[in-house]
Amino acid sequence: MQRLWHVTAAHETGLADARFRPRQLAEPILPVYVGSLMTAITMCKRMQEEGVFVNPVVSPGVPPGKELIRISLMATHTDAQIDFALDKLAKVGKEVGLL
Protein backbone atom coordinates (compact mmCIF):
# COMPACT_ATOMS: atom_id res chain seq x y z
CA MET A 1 0.00 0.00 0.00
CA GLN A 2 2.81 2.40 0.86
CA ARG A 3 4.35 1.91 -2.60
CA LEU A 4 1.00 2.53 -4.30
CA TRP A 5 0.62 5.89 -2.52
CA HIS A 6 4.21 6.78 -3.46
CA VAL A 7 3.44 6.02 -7.11
CA THR A 8 0.19 8.01 -6.93
CA ALA A 9 1.85 11.05 -5.36
CA ALA A 10 4.71 10.98 -7.85
CA HIS A 11 2.31 10.84 -10.78
CA GLU A 12 0.11 13.63 -9.41
CA THR A 13 3.20 15.81 -8.93
CA GLY A 14 4.36 15.04 -12.47
CA LEU A 15 0.96 15.92 -13.91
CA ALA A 16 0.95 19.20 -12.04
CA ASP A 17 4.53 19.96 -13.14
CA ALA A 18 3.47 19.43 -16.76
CA ARG A 19 0.50 21.77 -16.13
CA PHE A 20 -2.25 19.18 -16.61
CA ARG A 21 -4.03 20.53 -13.50
CA PRO A 22 -4.82 17.19 -11.83
CA ARG A 23 -7.33 17.06 -9.02
CA GLN A 24 -5.69 15.94 -5.82
CA LEU A 25 -7.81 12.85 -5.29
CA ALA A 26 -5.37 10.67 -3.36
CA GLU A 27 -6.54 7.75 -5.49
CA PRO A 28 -4.47 5.56 -7.79
CA ILE A 29 -6.81 6.30 -10.71
CA LEU A 30 -6.05 9.79 -12.00
CA PRO A 31 -8.17 11.78 -14.44
CA VAL A 32 -6.63 14.06 -17.05
CA TYR A 33 -9.37 16.34 -18.31
CA VAL A 34 -9.18 16.92 -22.06
CA GLY A 35 -12.62 18.41 -22.77
CA SER A 36 -13.49 16.83 -26.12
CA LEU A 37 -14.27 13.43 -27.59
CA MET A 38 -11.68 13.71 -30.37
CA THR A 39 -8.94 14.83 -27.99
CA ALA A 40 -9.65 11.90 -25.64
CA ILE A 41 -9.59 9.38 -28.49
CA THR A 42 -6.49 10.93 -30.09
CA MET A 43 -4.62 11.03 -26.78
CA CYS A 44 -5.43 7.40 -26.01
CA LYS A 45 -4.27 6.30 -29.46
CA ARG A 46 -1.07 8.36 -29.31
CA MET A 47 -0.28 7.24 -25.76
CA GLN A 48 -0.65 3.62 -26.84
CA GLU A 49 1.69 4.29 -29.78
CA GLU A 50 4.15 5.75 -27.28
CA GLY A 51 3.92 2.63 -25.09
CA VAL A 52 1.58 3.87 -22.35
CA PHE A 53 -1.94 2.51 -21.81
CA VAL A 54 -4.65 4.96 -20.73
CA ASN A 55 -8.44 4.77 -21.00
CA PRO A 56 -10.77 7.35 -22.55
CA VAL A 57 -13.83 8.39 -20.56
CA VAL A 58 -16.44 9.89 -22.86
CA SER A 59 -20.20 10.48 -23.03
CA PRO A 60 -22.39 8.97 -21.64
CA GLY A 61 -19.83 8.24 -18.88
CA VAL A 62 -19.25 11.97 -18.55
CA PRO A 63 -21.21 14.91 -19.96
CA PRO A 64 -20.17 16.15 -23.43
CA GLY A 65 -17.32 18.61 -23.04
CA LYS A 66 -16.05 16.89 -19.86
CA GLU A 67 -14.15 14.07 -21.56
CA LEU A 68 -10.97 12.80 -19.94
CA ILE A 69 -8.36 10.13 -20.04
CA ARG A 70 -7.90 7.89 -17.04
CA ILE A 71 -4.51 6.83 -15.72
CA SER A 72 -4.54 3.70 -13.56
CA LEU A 73 -1.55 3.20 -11.28
CA MET A 74 -0.28 0.10 -9.52
CA ALA A 75 2.18 -0.43 -6.69
CA THR A 76 4.36 -2.40 -9.11
CA HIS A 77 5.01 0.63 -11.32
CA THR A 78 8.62 1.71 -10.98
CA ASP A 79 9.79 5.30 -10.71
CA ALA A 80 11.33 4.89 -14.19
CA GLN A 81 7.95 3.80 -15.57
CA ILE A 82 6.27 6.80 -13.95
CA ASP A 83 8.84 9.16 -15.46
CA PHE A 84 8.42 7.48 -18.86
CA ALA A 85 4.63 7.81 -18.74
CA LEU A 86 4.81 11.45 -17.64
CA ASP A 87 7.27 12.28 -20.43
CA LYS A 88 4.99 10.66 -23.00
CA LEU A 89 1.92 12.37 -21.54
CA ALA A 90 3.62 15.77 -21.83
CA LYS A 91 4.69 15.00 -25.40
CA VAL A 92 1.21 13.93 -26.47
CA GLY A 93 -0.44 16.75 -24.49
CA LYS A 94 1.60 19.24 -26.51
CA GLU A 95 0.73 17.50 -29.78
CA VAL A 96 -3.01 17.78 -29.12
CA GLY A 97 -2.81 21.35 -27.82
CA LEU A 98 -3.52 20.73 -24.14
CA LEU A 99 -0.13 22.07 -23.06
pLDDT tens sequence across 42-84: 999 999 999 999 999 999 989 999 999 999 988 898 989 999 9
What is the residue range of 31's domain?
Answer: 2-95
> Across the chain, what does the average pLDDT equal?
88
CATH number at residue 72: 3.90.1150.10
Backbone angles phi, psi at 70, to 5 degrees: -115, 130
List of residues 6+ apart from 16 with CB closer than 8 A:
22
Task: Say what the pTM is.
Answer: 0.75
Domain count along the chain: 1
Amino acid at 86: L
Quickly state the pLDDT bin for 23 (edges 50, 70, 90): low
